[in-house]
Amino acid sequence: MKFRFILFVAVSLSFFIPFHGLADYPQKKIWIFFKDRPFLSGPPVQTRLTSAAALRRKIRGEGSIDESDFAVEARYVQAVEKAGATVLVASRWLNAVSAICDQRCGENLRELPFISEVRPVITYRRKSDWIRPVNVSAEETSKKLKYGESLDQLTQIQVPGAHRRGFAGQGEIVAMFDGGFRKDHIAFKNKIIVAEHDFVFNDDNVTKGGNHDSHGTSTWSCVGGEVPGKLYGAAYKASFILAATEDVRSETKIEEDNWVAAFEWADQLGATVISSSLGYRDWYTSFDFNGNTAVTSKVASRAAKKGILVVNSAGNEGPLSSTLSAPADARKILTVGAVDENGLIANFSSRGPTADGRTKPEVVARGVDTFVAASYAPNGFGRSDGTSFSCPLTAGAAATLLSAHPDWKPVQVIEAFTATASQNSLPDNTYGWGIVNLTAALDYLPKKSVVIDEHKPLKNTANHTTPYRIEARIRAQRGLNASQSFLLWKTPGSAKFQQVVLSAVSGKTDYFQGTIPPQPPNTTVFYYLAARDIKGKAGKLPVTAPATPFSFHVR
């Protein structure tokens, strides 16, 4: 049986009238939006960021502090609670809170002059997920081909080529937004879990057993699974943040304030990629999917500014046009549709355009008979259908691309994927720009970029008589200024880095080399590479140099 998003849509033309609907129910879960943030109370969120989050914002974000980095005004929240509301989630990104409120509470809220709007918290309900079990034989396990039955879905989006080049998501933190996750499944043995939280039960355990863990286990395996001979995720070397945002006790009820809370939590913990196989439609109409109306879309559309790449499933409401859910309509994210093993669009895959005419999805990947880990047993596997699975395959590919290009911003990842996908010259609202091609994206030059890659850092050595040769590929989209391409090196006793102009490697296009003089035994050498294009745009490797350069030790 195929996975389908089952969405019960309640249409209301007066939806955006403030305080809509509070008279209809004795109690209602609502968003309360505030007009301003006059006092910017408390320190900005930077004081609570992990080092990984701070580094991501510095390298991939815009870097500046804005109002979204400050907490919601505490005096406003207190006044809302005094009016009779039970506050559940406070969102600094939206300058809003979600709360439980009845009719009398709603009448009291009308008297508060700092409230700009009240609207329902949106949900969707998806029927229980079904996994078609697959038995993987001992013969399959013993084969030299380590991808097993996941080979086809990874090959379709050209992931194995990236793995052969040494990139598999290392250094990236992927946040999974889903139901629960079976952490003891063999697909996740020795995985690094940065943090986990259940936003439904409000605890730090995302493994609840049974149907709670079904969907999340399968989507996680598409990104990070690792069982030689059976299954590999596209970014199996990544680290993970696990957020349970679905309530499976009521046919997988999912509420958007859980998604927003999970997003802001993952932001502070350093998430670089968010994989979200979720969507929201209740109360929204097709006219609202413009990237700026639904609250999850509002948040997702701002994620790139903070250096976070959001990858979201398009939804399973096809084949008609304009069948997206939020936040699939968001700006500067990767929305992913589903194709079968032959690259043909799945009938259920949601289509664009957005309400404001933008092409969606951006790309497509395998979402029919996708091979996944299954939560029914710690060594269970199965096949499933839905954009729920094309999404994490693409999120894993994105994390792998970022492990190769850690200085790329989210918009550059999107540019690389759309420019190299299977129908990049003729995008449409069914396939978007086409099937992902990760190998081609690795070699893509984003606009105005300077890319230094294909370098193997020097290892410790006993050589202290001949120079140490450094080689790397250096490319500039607008043209390289060869005289401004340098190898910079120093030893612990040096006050500053010495500079060596790089020279072209004979017979190898775009490759440059330089040498460091031989050093005496028991010396550590630090080095990095830097280059500029003809317009002065700079690039470095490592991207955090000179603070954290490469190093090797001369024994």
Q: How far apart are CA 216 and CA 373, in angstroms?
A: 10
pLDDT on residue 44? 65
User: Distance of CA 238 to CAs 187, 188, 381, 514, Å?
Assistant: 13, 11, 21, 32
Q: Give the SS3 label for residue 468.
A: strand
Q: Is the pLDDT score of 362 beyond 50? A: yes
pLDDT on residue 411? 98
Report the range of poorest mean pLDDT among 61-70, 217-226, 253-262, 420-429: 61-70
φ/ψ of 453, rounded to 5, equals -150, -165
Domains detected in the chain: 22-124 (3.30.70.80), 132-442 (3.40.50.200), 450-554 (2.60.40.10)
> 74 near 61, Cβ under 8 Å?
no
- Which residue, among 330, 202, 226, 344, has the nearest Cα to 276 in the 3D structure? 330
In the numeric block, which tokens belong to residue 255?
């509420």
pLDDT on residue 42? 61
Q: How far apart are CA 100 and CA 27, in angstroms?
A: 7
Q: What is the pTM of this model?
A: 0.91
Position with higher pLDDT, 14 vs 66? 66
**Could you say which DSSP state residue 8 is in?**
-
Q: Is the pLDDT score of 127 beyond 90? A: no
Q: What is the DSSP string of 123-161?
A: EEE-PPP--EE-PPPHHHHHSS-TTGGGHHHHHHTTHHH
Q: What is the mean pLDDT of the chain?
A: 90
Q: Is the pLDDT score of 7 beyond 70? A: no
Helix (H) or strand (E) holding 204: none
pLDDT on residue 347? 97
The whole-number average pLDDT for the span 510-526 is 97
Position 391, amino acid: C
- Residue 250 banded pLDDT, cuts 50, 70, 90: low
Tens-digit pLDDT profile for residues 130-163: 678 887 654 443 334 489 999 999 999 999 999 9
- Which residue, among 321, 324, 254, 251, has the nearest Cα to 289 in the 3D structure? 324
- Residue 237 banded pLDDT, cuts 50, 70, 90: very high
Position with higher pLDDT, 18 vs 44? 44
- Which residue, among 485, 481, 410, has the nearest Cα to 446 in the 3D structure? 410
Q: Is the pLDDT score of 50 beyond 80? A: yes
pLDDT on residue 285? 87
> 372 near 383, Cβ under 8 Å?
yes
- Residue 74 banded pLDDT, cuts 50, 70, 90: very high
In the numeric block, which tokens belong to residue 144?
């030299």
Q: Is the pLDDT score of 2 beyond 50? A: no
pLDDT on residue 143? 38
Q: How far apart are CA 309 and CA 296, in angstroms?
A: 14
- Give the contacts of 139 (CB within 8 A, at least 6 positions apart): none
Torsion of CA 326, 197, 2, 297, to 10 degrees: 10
- Residue 4 banded pLDDT, cuts 50, 70, 90: very low
pLDDT on residue 62? 86
Q: Is the pLDDT score of 8 beyond 50? A: no
pLDDT on residue 126? 57
Tens-digit pLDDT profile for residues 449-484: 999 999 999 999 999 999 999 999 999 999 999 999
| Packing angle of the helix pair 387-404, 214-224 (nearest 10 deg) | 30
Q: Is the pLDDT score of 60 beyond 80? A: yes
Tens-digit pLDDT profile for residues 170-224: 999 999 999 899 999 999 999 999 999 999 999 999 999 888 899 999 999 999 9
Tens-digit pLDDT profile for residues 284-341: 888 999 999 999 999 999 999 999 999 999 999 999 999 999 999 999 999 999 999 9
pLDDT on residue 18? 55
Q: How far apart are CA 394 and CA 400, in angstroms?
A: 10
With a pLDDT cut of 90, the percent of the chain lying above it is 80
Tens-digit pLDDT profile for residues 419-449: 999 999 999 999 999 999 999 999 999 999 9
The whole-number average pLDDT for the span 36-56 is 78
φ/ψ of 531, rounded to 5, equals -155, 160
- Provide the 10 A C-beta neighbour count for residue 64: 8
